[in-house]
Structure 1
């Protein structure tokens, strides 16, 4: 696990209803909340409580964490009527540094459609700025670097 030098300055380490976050799930390991600038019909972020800087900091020891994040994302989308295993209805992924906005690992969970073409472009598969969660998980399971 990679820890931040100043976790108190990390906005995701301070996630709470009091800080304006619209939380939809909390447990001992994960927090899920609505994205403040949603790109899709439903747009949630799932973060680990432990401060892990970015997707590039992940290794094979994080496989169980990513599996839990993806399971939670599937459940949350399913609860809202989406088919989370259908590419036309759901997407899960991470922005890749330096294209990420906050240095605290956060997975985008999106119930489609996207709000507009610009938003869709921001989450395009195969681009250097965005990594699909399933691709990252598969690489980690193989003992490879996340990206």
Structure 2
């Protein structure tokens, strides 16, 4: 069956069944997130829905609520943590607290959120994911220049996977140093933004800007989306 195939895009999903799961490090008594199938070949993609389309449970929402992973950064809008199987050591995920199903469901009104995700990613990459969490006092309000290690001229890549190639139905941005020597053939293909399965931050923002330009003057941007049906009802804010 389709769900039994290996999942080539499951690197960002924390494992729930192994003894090495980060949840075993929790000692607060917080219940772990529910077991939800994730990955490209998963029917549910880490999310369960009610019959009316409302979100019942979400793998990322539960991670944010239960703090089931060490956070490198968090604020009222976004959280940053490492994927379980990073493509390179610098690989991090930038996840909004609001549940938005995927990159295609982003609307013109989400421009500020996506820009915020990018600024936060820049701050984390500037500090260096290996150096630990970004402190509250370091919360980025303006764009920053990303400085890599001395002698490392690799740029930082910011990307989103496009459905059905997303592995979980909660939009998130990947950020990592684009080092071809470490990415390997698989990584270069998986995160190639000049493709129909992956989009760069610039491509996503350009699309949202176009959507905003198409909104008639005086009309709320809430109605501007490539897939606006049901968009408001499926969004929710995680505590």
What's the TM-score once normalised by structure 2's chain length?
A: 0.54
Q: What is the aligned partner in structure 2 of residue 57 from structure 1? A: 105
Q: What is the aligned partner in structure 2 of residue 83 from structure 1? A: 147
Q: Matched residue pairs, number?
A: 142
Tell whether the 8 Å contact from 1:7 to 1:13 is kept in structure 2 after alignment.
Answer: no
RMSD: 2.5
- Choose between structure 1 and 2 for higher RCO, CA contacts under 8 A separated by at least 6 residues: 1
More strand by share: 1
Q: What is the aligned partner in structure 2 of residue 106 from structure 1? A: 172
Q: Which consecutive residues of structure 1, in runs of 5 or more, have no partner in the other structure?
A: none
Distance 2:65 2:113 in 1: 24
User: Secondary structure of the equivalent of 2:86?
Assistant: coil
The alignment status of 1:137 with 2:205, answered yes or no, reads yes
User: Secondary structure of the equivalent of 1:115?
Assistant: helix
Distance 1:46 1:61 in 2: 18
Distance 1:126 1:29 in 2: 28
Tell whether the 8 Å contact from 1:53 to 1:103 is kept in structure 2 after alignment.
Answer: yes
Q: What is the aligned partner in structure 1 of residue 236 from structure 2? A: none
Distance 1:44 1:88 in 2: 16
Residues 119/8 of structure 1: CA separation in 2 closer, same or farther (3 Å cut): same
Pick aligned residue for 1:73 from 107, 121, 124: 121
60-69 vs 10-19, which moves further: 10-19
